Homo-oligomer: A and B are copies of this chain.
């Protein structure tokens, strides 16, 4: 028994596990562990019970427990060392940036996102769009330009291009909902997004829209998102007011 911080037995209050239900067991276990960590029930540095014992005590198989723990490791909440054990990472627990849209990020953090559609038109894909969206040059696509505000303050300019299947998207819908919400409503599920984050000076037009001085710095993000069939469904060029928005990323070694 190493003299590390301390060994902890997470309480027997895993006993509301729903074995027959639709929610995977590993997910239920991971959720309860995550809650305990965010609660500080398991404080930073605390050692977890070992996998085999935990599995036995919960009446689950080791792979199931292992999967639950691994999910938390991938979220940057736990760290494992062979021969030592599993410990809670020090440092503030930050919620991971999932595959969400700005709209949902804002809603979740209690702000009121508002959208004004600057332009929406069907165009043909130029070189740049064709490459980003993975369609033929000259294909019909929908170009949307929006100004996103939160609590009345302009936050970002969102330029998006969508493939032919979505050219009938409606201006009114876009003013009321996030783009990802609308796509989900059409049965599209985002699976993968590849993003590039950078910075540059705002153009005069951008500065005006974002209520910034001329040539002020803006944070930029360009993204291509793919659905669960691996096809690109969205290509976007966004620019954000850097005093109001930044990106949080957690990297984990695998």
Contacts and interface: CB of A to CB of B under 8 A. Distances in A.
Interface string A224-249: 10101111100000000011011111
A201 interface: yes
Nearest to A63: B63
Nearest to A225: B251
A227 to B, nearest CB: 8
Contact of A81 (B134, B229, B232, B248): B229
Contacts of A191: 79, 252-253
Interface string A75-91: 01011110010011111
A132 B246 CA distance: 17
A199 B217 CA distance: 7
A205 interface: no
A194 B91 contact: yes
A44 interface: yes
Nearest to A81: B228
A61 interface: no
A33 to B, nearest CB: 15
Interface of A: 44-45, 63, 71, 74, 76, 78-81, 84, 87-92, 94, 97-99, 134, 189-201, 216-219, 224, 226, 228-232, 242-243, 245-254
B228 A134 contact: no
Contacts of A248: 194-197
Contacts of A245: 198
Given A217-B217, A252-B99, A196 B246 contact: yes
B217 A249 contact: no
A115 to B, nearest CB: 22
Contacts of A200: 217, 242-243
A66 to B, nearest CB: 11
A124 B246 CA distance: 29
A231 B249 CA distance: 18
Contact of A251 (B63, B92, B98): B98
Contact of A194 (B76, B84, B199, B230): B76
